[in-house]
Amino acid sequence: MTSRRSTTLFVAAVASAGMLFAAPASASSSQSTAPAPSADAAPADACYTWSDELKEGASGDAVRQLQIRVAGYPASGEDIAIDGEFGPATKAAVKRFQEAYGLSGSGVADQATFDKIYELQDDDCSPVNFDWSELNNCNSDWSGGKVSAATAKANALVTMWKLQAMRHAMGDKPIVVNGGFRSVSCNDNVGGAPNSRHLYGHAADLGAGSQGFCALALEARNHGFGEILGPGYPGHDDHTHVAGGGGKSWSAPSCGM
């Protein structure tokens, strides 16, 4: 997490504001470019500002940006597509996000929903409790993986928002992140699998923290992580590995999973 914006309380006054900056949009695309706000409109947030409420049937970049922020609220064992289409799964995720923060669980992304996201979001689009550097201790430019640097960074952003949801569900206790994105050379140096999801920016390796490896592995099932490897799985007795990116592979035998 980096600098916090100086205020998040201008939202109601700028409901018609456009987007100032669009964060990386999806696991399969590079950064989005949003139109500049009009001269007389102030953005509600230094990262991204929504101008209208969103509900089922909506589509476009505003929906995609919302999906990134609620990616950690799918049905248990499921994942949310970051595709810019506000369908039933996105509606259900928005509802879970709202209920997790004591908002009205309508499934419609309204101003109160956006205000909560602004509160949880730093100026660089990362969630307040996680930092880009935690998800990349390999290099400074996200290059050298199995996807472009922009895509790796976009995928890591989704991973951070999933971790933010998981952290909140576990009592807002800090989650220790020991690593994330790896270039091919970094992956080789640590003996990673040739097609490790670290190479795509989808993965994070978690330390025990105050929760313990098993609690982390079990909770990750509820937050969009299709790959969870923990104690009892070869090479994972000293960390819990979580990753998105599709598919489902959970194994932490010592945790009963």
Q: Which two tokens stand for residue 175?
A: 């989650």
Q: Which two tokens stand for residue 27?
A: 């696991």
Q: Which two tokens stand for residue 184?
A: 């091919």
The catalytic residue among 198, 223, 236, 241 is 236
What helix, strand, coil percent values describe the chain, rounded to 5? 30, 10, 60
202 in active site: no
* Contact assessment for residue 175 and residue 211, using Cβ atoms and an 8 Å cutoff: yes
**DSSP tag of 13:** G
* Contact assessment for residue 59 and residue 71, using Cβ atoms and an 8 Å cutoff: no
- Give exposure, 56-80, as e/b (b: 16+ Cβ within 10 Å): eebeebbbbbbbbbbbbbbeeeebb
**DSSP tag of 68:** H
34, HSE (Cβ side, Cα atoms, 13 Å): 25
Distance of CA 56 to the CA centre of its chain: 21
Active-site residue set: 236
